[in-house]
Amino acid sequence: MNIVILGSGNAATHFGKAFQQLGHQIVQIYSKTKANADALAFALQCPGTDDLSQLLPHADLYLIAVADQAIPTVVDGMPQDINGIVVHCSGASDMAILSRFKKYGVVYPPQSLSKNKIVDFSLIPFCVEGNDANTTEALLGLARNFSSRSIHCDSQQRLAIHLSSVLVNNFSNILYQFAYELLAEHNLSFDLVKPIILETAEKVQNHIPITVQTGPAIRGDETTQQKHLKFISNKPDLQQIYQLLSHQITKRK
């Protein structure tokens, strides 16, 4: 399969390398910044461009891997007579944003991608949608080359997966940062809580999260909760988060 990648960031880099490993041919990289296009194009050994009107017209797949807010601009600038399948890899953008093309869809991996960290796509359940049955099957076949766990889901289901990913990844990470800062203030290392982070992540691999909930809120230990709140009395934002999350835990006892 000949593939054009539109984007030069984390997702574009990982998709490009993964496609090549599967034997597909990356034939062009687009980025709004020529230097960025050329950098990824050099890594993938193909041409780069910053001009959407110069996209190669006969590729089999056009993968849009840019920030959500940039997708409409990229789509509007692409030639309309593209015959290949045009897809984006966003969890929050509706598939209909691509409806100006004949064949279009979504291939969304619910995973945090960083350029310098190796990603094993075989462990990721890709979420796939196409504008018709044939396109859906083609994209599912492509995704299942990456991961046998790939599934078909519509835009609403994909949004639910994306929001859930934000909850368990982005929101948990900022809680890690709160903990890091609190420990640092008391001359303690964040390494002290890394084992419990791993323990919690391991538990939810095989259990419904609430069934393995621990801590003062699930025990109804108000004395400890009040000690915690007093301890962070100079951090009203953290106090509010603590109270809100504790309330949610208590509701599910």
Quote the pTM value: 0.86
- The DSSP code for 96 is G
Range of the domain at 202: 158-251
**Among candidates 87, 110, 91, 115, which has minimal Cα distance to 1?**
87
| pLDDT of res. 80 | 85
Task: Please indicate, yes or no, whether residues 93 and 210 belong to a single structural domain of this protein.
Answer: no
**Total domain count, the chain:** 2
- Rounded Cα distance, 155 and 92, in Å: 8
Asked whether the beta carbons of 118 and 136 are under 8 A apart, the reply is no
Give which of 37, 42, 46, 39 is closest to 66, Cα–Cα. Answer: 37
Three-state SS for 162? helix
- Calpha distance 27→3 (Å, rounded): 6
Report how far residue 230's alpha carbon sits from residue 224's, in angstroms, rounded to the nearest whole number: 10
In this structure, are 87 and 181 located in the same domain? no
Of 124, 153, 182, the residue at which a domain comes to its end is 153
Neighbours of 2 (CB within 10 A): 15
- Residue-level pLDDT at 13: 94
Q: Are residues 62 and 133 in the same domain?
A: yes
Tell me the pLDDT of the chain (253 aa) as tens digits: 999 999 999 999 999 999 999 999 999 999 999 999 999 999 999 999 999 999 998 999 999 999 999 999 999 999 988 989 999 999 999 999 999 999 999 999 998 887 777 888 889 999 999 999 999 999 999 999 999 999 999 989 999 999 999 999 999 999 999 999 999 999 999 999 999 999 999 999 999 999 999 999 999 999 999 999 999 999 999 999 999 999 999 998 8
DSSP code of 128? E
CATH code of residue 227: 1.10.1040.20
Q: What is the pLDDT of residue 49?
A: 97
CATH number at residue 117: 3.40.50.720
pLDDT of residue 165: 93
pLDDT value, residue 119: 83
Please list, in sequence order, all residues whose beta carbon lies within 8 angstroms of the beta carbon of residue 159, skipping any fewer than 6 positions away.
91, 92
pLDDT of residue 118: 82
Q: Which of 116, 115, 146, 141 is nearest to 130 (CA)?
A: 141
Long-range contacts of 46-53 (CB under 8 A, 24+ apart): 52/77, 52/78, 52/79, 53/77, 53/79
